[in-house]
Amino acid sequence: MFARRFLISFPIFVAVYVIQETIVSQFRIFGSGFSLFLIFTLLWSALGTPELGALTGFGAGLLMDLSQSSSGPMGQWMLIMILAGFSISYLGFGDDNFRGNPISLVVIVAIAVPITRLVYLILGLMFGGQLGSTLEIFTSLIASGLWTVAVVPLLMPFVTRIHSGLFEDLSRG
Amino acid sequence: MRNGGDNRGRLLLISLIVTSLFLITLDLRGVQVLGGIRSGSQTVLSPVQSVAATVFRPVGNFFSDVTHLGRTRGEIEKLQAKNEKLRQALINRKNADAELAQLKSVLDLAGTAKFKVVNARVISLGSTSSFTQTISIDAGTNDGVRQNMTVITGRGLVGVVKMSYPNSALVQLATDPAFKVGARVAGSQQIGILSGQGTGKGVLQLLDNRTTLKVGDVILARGSQHNRPFVPGVPIGEVTSVDNAAGEITQIADVKFFVNFASLSIVAVVIGAPQADPRDALVPKAPVPTPVPTVTIYAKPSESPTP
């Protein structure tokens, strides 16, 4: 049942991924803009169980690794997204006050996005990547958090509705 | 896990992490496990990206212009004056004219250097989350574009082809932190290495400590063996400041790129270069001030009538 519902959610992720790669990537806005796919994944993970968060991170990380603009080795995004998905769902798991409060979700996702990107950067450096301008990285991380604060409230009604439609019974059980 | 901390959950988490570590290890050892899928996904996505670029690029350009408003205020004022005259003609053709201008300038540059080029449109601006600076173009292996080819615009160096797919290619921009190119100073021929910094400026480090740089020096690509990844003589940028710190072994300078990476739409991939190095032939011409005609008025006192 769990696996079936997870597989049903996969096309939704593919659709968001295609939107990210084809439409969102056309815009170069302040602070390198935002990653709709990353925000969507973390928001989705925050609403589920830790197992689901880890699985969601696995699938999302795989798609992010398949992106042609992904500079790291295959599996780097996957590893980070598994940990991010697990962590963000673990933080709110079992606390209905937390999940029921939209502000909590906005804040947790807005914090999680820059942290996820920072971990990606650090792991990339360990794999021999280049750092570039520290100021630019700092600006980009701060901006990604701010963009997330703006984007999550727009996404939340759709994500919570789809998520509850697919997983509500399971998470209650 | 707080409530669901059963063994199954832990086992799942560990299995997923081990899978990802396994993939990373294979990739770092050069085994392209999912390379075919990555290439295939790009082949599928590139036509959609191409359509999306046509539809959404004007909106993207709007956001880009807003972002760079402070920096380009002077240019905007000039353009506003021009726009006033050309408004009617630009209403329907603004985007097409801009692309045509970029195409013409890149062909001019390629023609001067006798480069054989393939023109391409920018169809995507790369990832926003992985700190890399890349673009995707709509020319690929079917057009003769291969890995490690130089990418230029009419103003100079854009970057280098990192990956090529049948109908598209990924270009690493010169602003990418991992980008490095052998460079030389036009005129004095001093050589050094220019690195991207993730911003609109690069850093040039000279290789010889007996030479000096000065603000305004034009930096050109030095060229690689067999012209790959870099063809020689392509303009890169202009020195804007020189670091004369006593502790440095050789001079370091900030270089402002000639290319405006925020508004790339047409680029060219150099697929063939002549044997002869164009030397300094591609150095941008300094703007020539327009002569202002001087009007001389001779005042001649009128003859006052004598009483």
- Segment B244-277, tens digit of pLDDT: 776 777 788 999 999 988 888 889 999 887 767 7
Tell whether A18 is covered by a domain: no
A27 in B contact zone (CB under 8 Å): yes
Tell whether B3 is covered by a domain: no
Cis peptide before B235 (omega within 30 of 0): no
pTM to 2 decimal places: 0.67
Task: Evaluate if residue B90 carries a pLDDT over 60.
Answer: no
Q: Which of B42, B128, B163 sits opposite A33 (nearest CB)?
A: B128
Tell me which chain A residue has its CA closest to the CA of residue B164: A68
How many Cβ atoms sit within 10 Å of the Cβ of residue A22?
22
Tell whether A93 is covered by a domain: yes
Q: Do residues B123 and B168 make contact, with C-beta atoms less than 8 angstroms apart?
A: yes
CA R_g for chain A: 15
- Ramachandran sector of residue B156 (left: φ over 0; alpha: ψ -120 to 50; beta: rest): left
Backbone angles phi, psi at B30, to 5 degrees: 90, 5
Return d(Cα A152, Cα A102) in angstroms, integer.
Answer: 9
Among B7, B12, B131, the residue to mutate for chain A (most A Cβ within 10 A)? B131
What total number of domains does chain B contain?
1
Cα-to-chain-centroid distance, residue B157? 6
Instruction: State chain B's mean pLDDT as an integer.
Output: 81
Structural domain harbouring A50: 35-168
A143 in B contact zone (CB under 8 Å): no
What is the band of A80 on the pLDDT scale with cuts at 50, 70, 90? very high
- Least confident range from A54-68, A78-92, B109-123, B282-296: namely B282-296
Cα-to-chain-centroid distance, residue B240? 18
> Hey, which of B32-36, B43-47, B80-84, B173-177 has the most confident mean pLDDT?
B173-177
* CB-based contact A117 B125, cutoff 8 Å: no
The whole-number average pLDDT for the span B187-195 is 88
Among B130, B261, B265, the residue to mutate for chain A (most A Cβ within 10 A)? B130
Structure tokens at B195: 């690195």
Burial B85-101 (b: 16+ CB within 10 A, else e): eeeeeeeeeeeeeebee
Tell whether A21 is covered by a domain: no
Return d(Cα B98, Cα B104) in angstroms, integer.
Answer: 10
Tell whether B83 is covered by a domain: yes
Tell me which chain A residue has its CA closest to the CA of residue B179: A130
* CB-based contact B38 A71, cutoff 8 Å: no
The whole-number average pLDDT for the span A51-66 is 90
Task: Evaluate if residue B1 carries a pLDDT over 50.
Answer: no
Tell whether A64 is covered by a domain: yes
Return d(Cα B194, Cα B257) in angstroms, integer.
Answer: 11
- Least confident range from A28-32, B52-56, B131-135: namely A28-32
H helical segments located in B29-122: 35-67, 73-113
Tell whether B17 is covered by a domain: yes
* CB-based contact B24 A34, cutoff 8 Å: no
Return d(Cα B118, Cα B140) in angstroms, integer.
Answer: 10
Residues of B in contact with A93 (CB under 8 A): 1-4
* CB-based contact B128 A137, cutoff 8 Å: no
What total number of domains does chain A contain?
1
Q: Do residues B119 and B139 make contact, with C-beta atoms less than 8 angstroms apart?
A: yes
Tell whether B290 is covered by a domain: no
pLDDT tens, residue by residue, A92-148 = 777 777 777 889 889 999 999 999 999 999 998 888 877 777 888 888 889 989 999
The whole-number average pLDDT for the span A83-89 is 93
Residues of A in contact with B166 (CB under 8 A): none
What integer pLDDT is reported at residue A41 of this predicted model?
Answer: 94
Cα-to-chain-centroid distance, residue B142? 23
Q: Percent of chain B at pLDDT above 90?
A: 22
Tell whether A17 is covered by a domain: no
pLDDT tens, residue by residue, A5-50 = 777 888 899 999 988 888 887 777 777 778 899 999 999 999 888 8
Structural domain harbouring B218: 11-283
A98 in B contact zone (CB under 8 Å): no
Prediction ipTM score: 0.83
Return d(Cα A96, Cα A100) in angstroms, integer.
Answer: 6
* CB-based contact A124 B130, cutoff 8 Å: yes
The whole-number average pLDDT for the span B225-237 is 88
What integer pLDDT is reported at residue A27 of this predicted model?
Answer: 74
Q: Which of B27, B57, B136 sits opposite A73 (nearest CB)?
A: B27
Inter-CA distances, B55 with B49, B59, B60, Å: 10, 8, 10
Tell whether A60 is covered by a domain: yes
